[in-house]
């Protein structure tokens, strides 16, 4: 655990932090095939599609870093980032009709595997699937991990306003467990029935809406008993856990107070084998993507432990320099820094150690 006095003890220690392997674990990209398909969607396809395409055209930091992998490698070299764990940018294939989404996922995963094969020491990858076609998604999970050798699966939270705790998606969770692949649960703009109050003041995206929506998804998985059905299911959340570590005590408190009472029954509480917080501490990992703030990292280490946190940047939506400077300079025991910088990612995502 860190404290205000846990400063690097020597110049050698600081130098070690500067040279330490860095695996960034939430690094989005845009496959040209996918971008072309998005551009063909109707104008009413949704705010995130419009926002992504507009952002790529008008915000150089996003557009120039989304699909140019040679430029990405140069940027990684410039800041000393050893590897990007690549994942298709939100909203993935979850905005397409099921047949097209399932076909796109296959093509995009093939393309990602080929890119990784060309740069095996610099890129690893999370496959995409189409939850709106659950059987096809489960099949593609098995292929992406078993045949293509990808390192996990990323799903952009809700699919048409639905969450993976629903029974219709059980075959997706079962496939993840079968192939022992982690699920990175990435945020997206909330569905329409949740979005309206967030449209004011820029709250619908990364400022607030993303975290609220992804946190809701994670809590639904916990409170539905999904981890009792699939005890080895592993879920990764970015942005320091989307705020959930701060609420673990309260989840336990409310569950203990009301489960089995008329209030709990009326609100839909189900029987769980463990406290809600215990599932989070045993089945979830979090990353530092877009949250380069020492007090948050201190709290996460205290609550979850140093083995449950991984470094991430959130390319292309966050700058590499700030993320790298944070993880290299934040006061940490060098043993802990190594875990967060690369060792935990090597273990969770089965990435070969350097």
Q: Enumerate the active-site residues.
A: 314
User: Which residues 6+ apart lie within 8 Å of 70 measured at CB?
Assistant: none
Distance (Å) of CA 104 to CA 69, 70, 270: 20, 24, 37
Instruction: Locate 52 and state its tokens.
Output: 């992504």
In contact, 28 and 123? CB cutoff 8 Å: no
Rg (CA), the chain: 20
Instruction: Locate 163 and state its tokens.
Output: 């969450």
Q: What angle do CA 27, 330, 65 make, to 5 degrees?
A: 20
In contact, 149 and 113? CB cutoff 8 Å: yes
Look-up of token digits 């059987």: 135
Between CA 277 and CA 98 the distance in angstroms is 35
**Entry field: residues in the chain:** 354
| Contacts of range 43-51, beta carbons closer than 8 Å, 24 or more positions apart | 45/95, 46/91, 46/95, 46/189, 47/189, 47/204, 48/90, 48/91, 48/95, 48/188, 48/189, 49/91, 49/95, 51/189, 51/205
User: Which residues 6+ apart lie within 8 Å of 343 measured at CB?
Assistant: 353
Closest by CA to 324, choosing from 17, 3, 12, 9, is 17
In contact, 141 and 106? CB cutoff 8 Å: no
């Amino acid at each position: 655990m860190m404290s205000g006095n846990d400063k690097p003890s020597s110049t050698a220690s600081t130098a070690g932090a500067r040279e330490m392997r860095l695996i960034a674990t939430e690094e989005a990209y845009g496959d040209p095939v996918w971008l072309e398909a998005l551009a063909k969607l109707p104008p009413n396809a949704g705010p995130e599609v419009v926002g992504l395409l507009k952002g790529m055209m008008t915000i150089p930091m996003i557009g120039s870093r989304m699909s140019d992998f040679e430029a990405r490698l140069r940027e990684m070299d410039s800041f000393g980032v050893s590897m990007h764990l690549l994942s298709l940018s939100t909203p993935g294939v979850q905005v397409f009709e099921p047949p097209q989404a399932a076909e796109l996922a296959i093509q995009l995963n093939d393309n990602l595997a080929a890119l990784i094969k060309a740069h095996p020491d610099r890129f690893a990858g999370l496959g995409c699937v189409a939850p709106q076609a659950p059987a096809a998604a489960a099949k593609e999970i098995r292929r992406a991990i078993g045949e293509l050798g990808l390192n996990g699966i990323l799903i952009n939270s809700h699919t048409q306003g639905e969450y993976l705790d629903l029974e219709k998606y059980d075959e997706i969770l079962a496939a993840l467990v079968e192939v022992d692949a982690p699920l990175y649960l990435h945020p997206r703009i909330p569905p329409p029935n949740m979005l309206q109050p967030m449209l004011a003041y820029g709250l619908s995206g990364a400022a607030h809406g993303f975290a609220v929506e992804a946190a809701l998804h994670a809590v639904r998985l916990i409170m539905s008993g999904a981890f009792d059905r699939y005890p080895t299911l592993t879920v990764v959340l970015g942005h320091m856990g989307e705020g959930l570590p701060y609420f673990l005590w309260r989840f336990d408190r409310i569950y203990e107070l009301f489960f089995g009472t008329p209030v709990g029954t009326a609100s839909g509480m189900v029987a769980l084998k463990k406290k809600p917080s215990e599932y989070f501490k045993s089945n979830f990992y979090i990353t530092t993507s877009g949250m380069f703030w020492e007090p948050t990292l201190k709290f996460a280490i205290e609550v979850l432990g140093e083995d449950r946190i991984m470094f991430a940047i959130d390319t292309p939506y966050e700058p590499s320099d700030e993320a790298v400077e944070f993880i290299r300079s934040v006061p940490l025991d060098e043993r802990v820094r190594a875990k967060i910088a690369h060792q935990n990612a090597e273990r969770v995502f089965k990435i070969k150690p350097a």
